[in-house]
Chains A and B, each alone.
Chain A
Amino acid sequence: MTLYHFGNCIALIYVPYYLAYKNSGLPEYGAFWKCIQAGFCYMFTQLAKMLILATFFPDNVSDLGSDLIGEFLKSTVDLADLVGLYIVLASIPGKGHSKVLTAGIGWATAEVILSRALLLWVGARGAEFDWIYIQKCLESNIFLIQHIVTATLIWLWSRHDLKSNIRTAVTLLLVLTSYKSLLLDLLLTGMGASAWFGLFIKAFVTMVYGFFTLMIYAGLAQVIGIF
């Protein structure tokens, strides 16, 4: 709408990232460069994913639901994100929670800058008002939680001292991460839900996801004695 509206959107999208970084104690670890490295790793992973998508799925302009198998396979490519996050985690020294938070926040920040900044600059600054920009900003906040959760799950998965039954659960959750957006989109289009309701559902699902992960993490953390 105006530059002011653009400012609103920027505040809505980036302040939670800043707060998460500042209040999680990461600055004390000097994790800033590590975050940026995670961001570079994100870019590299996306590039690799794009190459794969462009090679094997040349026409990715179809409506949701028209080509379910194609959509499914495309979501499968998102498993590459997990590999990327794994590499990031492996390259960060340190204890569990700082490692996980650094990787998650760095990764999510890179995504939010690369995928949202241009959209907002182009869209939210224009004369036309549209709720979609506010919605995108809120969605990015959800992604922040999602990426931290994913990083945690990968960290848990890479531990050797995890019980086998919990390990299965973690693996299941990890695989589901890739397909979560597809499944949610399918569900929401099936229900014919409005954008706001869809946003609420996404937030809710991510919260539940996050809580499960937190429980598992807390259980392990108490066993191995880290905070």
Chain B
Amino acid sequence: MWLEEFDEIFKGFLPYYLLIVLPIFIIVSPVNPVASSSEFPAFRMQHYDLHGIAHGCRSAGINLEAKSLTGWSTPRHCVLTKLKDLTVDNFRNIKLKAGALLIMLPENISNLNVEEQHHLLLLENAMVVQEVSIPVYFAKYSSQLEIIISEVTDNLDTNDMSKSAAEALFNSIAANGYQIVVSSSSLGIKTDAKVASIHGHLPGHSTDGKIPTIAIVAHYDSFGAAPELSYGADSNGSGVIILLELVRLFSSLYTEKGRNTHGKYNIVFLLSGGGKINYQGSKKWLEDQLDSLDGSIIQEVSYVMCLDTLASNESIYMHVSKPPKEGSASSSFYKELKTTAAELYPSVTVEGVHKKINLADDILGWEHERFSIRRLPAFTLSSLKNHKDLRKSTIMDTKEGLDIDRLVINTKLIAEALARHIYGVTNGSVLGLSVDVNRKYIETWVNYLCSQPRSPQLLSDKDNALIAVLKDNFNKYLREVKVTNAVPDKRDPDFQFYQVTSGTVNVYSVKPAVFDLILTIAIVLYLGAIYLFIERFSILYSLACTLTVNRKIKSQ
């Protein structure tokens, strides 16, 4: 008997049950598991504050309709364009009136012609120099995105008079539109941001007590329109690599037993961080060194040599903020560099450039100015003649564009000149068979440094891998290696970084709302036809009956 009851329950309740359970089941399933047909990684533009001035784009999330460079009109449009089509004027206009900007980079960014390079440099500068309120993203080249861009460009001409009215109408109903969605969490300030500087030294040896010091400085960070696209192979990868090569050469010279190659100078090596944000790393380091109670060896410095962007030109410029006095250490190094260049590589010209420090300007031109302000004799060696050269901060500065031959030549020149100055050799070279610049070593470092973007905000985390590697390398060759961290002041921060540097762009293909209405009408018509078919099915049935009857009559 209870079996029947159970059967009754089963019959009576289970389906109702399912009617409730199934929808709940469907509703609680993940709301948006559908992946869009096109997903691209995208890199957000620079976003940082420096000395209280905001730079770069201030927002991150996009959910807007895609329009081409000429087709957009309202803040509800996201402009989708290729980098080479975007002009500075366009950008200024978009910045003020459009909703967002998504830029596709060229296929090979280091392989542009001179005109395109110039255009890109100007554009990048215009983008970063001021704050931008709309989200700006860069996407790498992909053929899929290229197709979408061309489709968006073609679709825009609904007001085009050359098309027929029917065509225009059809276009406005059925044309493929694209919705660009970048979901992002809120833009928080990086609270634990810090800029690390690594230093170590080689102690000199002298019989008469007092040992002068030379400091060699290079900043290791890079800069470009987007943090995750700034590989900075030349600026300042080249400076870092030369510094690392000098570390290797002089540590082997200073420690070699049996031969009298221990120099008379202490050499301090500093890899400073935050070079692109007004040399924050060297500023902090210098403050620590000079203001510490126990006297630092930096106070006895003969000169500070900063290395910056040393592989872009056939010449080396020695930038100073005060012409060195005749007979001073820096002037004698300058002479050594000049004669070495004339001896070894006559094609390389060495020139001195004098630029006074502009104290009214917040941003310093060269790294040596940080030291010159504190009255230390300092100069910067660079292949660039002007501190405003835009090549110091561009996303085009990648490994593919780096001239390794020139980097090796410049390394050799600087190492040789420094060695001659330290050992007081005036004729004949110091570096030669057993100790010489090693191209393999340089190439290894080029590969390593250029394999990752080195924007200051990306390196500002705790325990950054790159900084650990550099520190390990210092530990291998130098003594008293230390990391100094520059942390922005809580109340009046010198610099601030923001969190989101990259995201995923989803491009959804969508249809206009009118299209849905038209579709509904079509569906209603179709359903009407089906209704008629089912209603009048008897006609078909009787037709089938007549046919079979006829056949039966025939067969009989």
Interface residues of A in 187-227 (CB under 8 A from B): 211, 214-215, 217-219, 221-222
Bound CA–CA A115/B43 (angstroms): 39
- Residue A80 lies at the interface, judged by CB distance under 8 Å to chain B: no
Bound CA–CA A42/B552 (angstroms): 37
Bound CA–CA A130/B37 (angstroms): 10
B15 A36 Cβ-Cβ under 8 A:
yes
Bound CA–CA A36/B10 (angstroms): 13
Question: Smallest CB-CB separation from A118: which chain B residue?
Answer: B26
> Which residues on the B side are within 8 Å of A214 (C-beta)?
540-541, 544
B144 to chain A, nearest CB (A): 14
A129 B510 Cβ-Cβ under 8 A:
yes
| Chain B 1-35: CB-based contact to A (< 8 A → 1; otherwise 0) | 00000000001000100000000001001001110
Bound CA–CA A16/B523 (angstroms): 11
Stretch at the interface among A85-93, A120-128, A167-175: A120-128
- Residue A15 lies at the interface, judged by CB distance under 8 Å to chain B: yes
B387 to chain A, nearest CB (A): 48
| Chain B 500-511: CB-based contact to A (< 8 A → 1; otherwise 0) | 000000001111
Number of interface residues of B (CB under 8 A): 34
Bound CA–CA A24/B537 (angstroms): 9
A215 B548 Cβ-Cβ under 8 A:
yes
> Which residues on the A side are within 8 Å of B33 (C-beta)?
122
Interface of A is mostly: helix
A144 to chain B, nearest CB (A): 10
A8 B516 Cβ-Cβ under 8 A:
yes
> Which residues on the A side are within 8 Å of B534 (C-beta)?
19-20, 23-24
Known A8-B516, A8-B520, A215-B544; contact A128-B530, beta-carbon cutoff 8 A: no
Interface residues of B in 522-548 (CB under 8 A from A): 523, 526-527, 530-531, 534-535, 540-541, 544-545, 547-548
> Which residues on the A side are within 8 Å of B172 (C-beta)?
none
A1 B511 Cβ-Cβ under 8 A:
yes
Give the residue among B181, B523, B527 with the most A Cβ atoms within 10 A.
B523
- Residue A117 lies at the interface, judged by CB distance under 8 Å to chain B: yes
- Residue B519 lies at the interface, judged by CB distance under 8 Å to chain A: yes
> Which residues on the B side are within 8 Å of A117 (C-beta)?
26
- Residue B36 lies at the interface, judged by CB distance under 8 Å to chain A: yes
- Residue B383 lies at the interface, judged by CB distance under 8 Å to chain A: no
Among the listed B509, B527, B545, B548, which residue makes an inter-chain contact with A11, where contact means beta carbons less than 8 Å apart? Answer: B527
> Which residues on the A side are within 8 Å of B520 (C-beta)?
8, 11
A128 B15 Cβ-Cβ under 8 A:
no
- Residue B179 lies at the interface, judged by CB distance under 8 Å to chain A: yes
- Residue B363 lies at the interface, judged by CB distance under 8 Å to chain A: no
B36 A128 Cβ-Cβ under 8 A:
yes
> Which residues on the B side are within 8 Å of A128 (C-beta)?
34, 36-37, 508-510
- Residue B549 lies at the interface, judged by CB distance under 8 Å to chain A: yes
A127 B36 Cβ-Cβ under 8 A:
yes
B511 A215 Cβ-Cβ under 8 A:
no
Bound CA–CA A28/B158 (angstroms): 55
- Residue A140 lies at the interface, judged by CB distance under 8 Å to chain B: no
> Which residues on the B side are within 8 Å of A218 (C-beta)?
541, 544-545, 547-548
> Which residues on the A side are within 8 Å of B541 (C-beta)?
214, 218
B520 to chain A, nearest CB (A): 6
Question: Smallest CB-CB separation from B515: which chain A residue?
Answer: A129
Question: Smallest CB-CB separation from B545: which chain A residue?
Answer: A218
A129 B511 Cβ-Cβ under 8 A:
yes
A219 to chain B, nearest CB (A): 4
Bound CA–CA A197/B252 (angstroms): 77
Known A11-B523, A126-B32; contact A33-B11, beta-carbon cutoff 8 A: yes
B552 A219 Cβ-Cβ under 8 A:
yes
B552 to chain A, nearest CB (A): 7
Bound CA–CA A4/B514 (angstroms): 12
Known A15-B527, A141-B530; contact A23-B510, beta-carbon cutoff 8 A: no
B527 A12 Cβ-Cβ under 8 A:
yes
Question: Smallest CB-CB separation from A113: which chain B residue?
Answer: B22
Among the listed B29, B519, B530, B549, which residue makes an inter-chain contact with A19, where contact means beta carbons less than 8 Å apart? Answer: B530
Question: Closest 3 interchain pairs by CB?
Answer: A126-B34, A219-B548, A218-B544
Beyond A19-B527, A128-B36, 14 additional contacts (C-beta under 8 Å) are: A2-B516, A5-B516, A20-B534, A117-B26, A121-B29, A128-B510, A134-B519, A141-B530, A211-B544, A214-B544, A215-B547, A218-B548, A221-B545, A222-B545
- B-side interface residues toward A, CB under 8 Å? 11, 15, 26, 29, 32-34, 36-37, 179, 181, 508-511, 516, 519-520, 523, 526-527, 530-531, 534-535, 540-541, 544-545, 547-549, 551-552
Can you list 20 A-B contacts (CB < 8 A)?
A: A1-B516, A2-B516, A11-B520, A11-B527, A15-B527, A15-B530, A19-B527, A23-B534, A36-B15, A118-B29, A122-B34, A127-B34, A127-B36, A127-B510, A128-B36, A128-B509, A211-B544, A218-B547, A219-B548, A219-B551
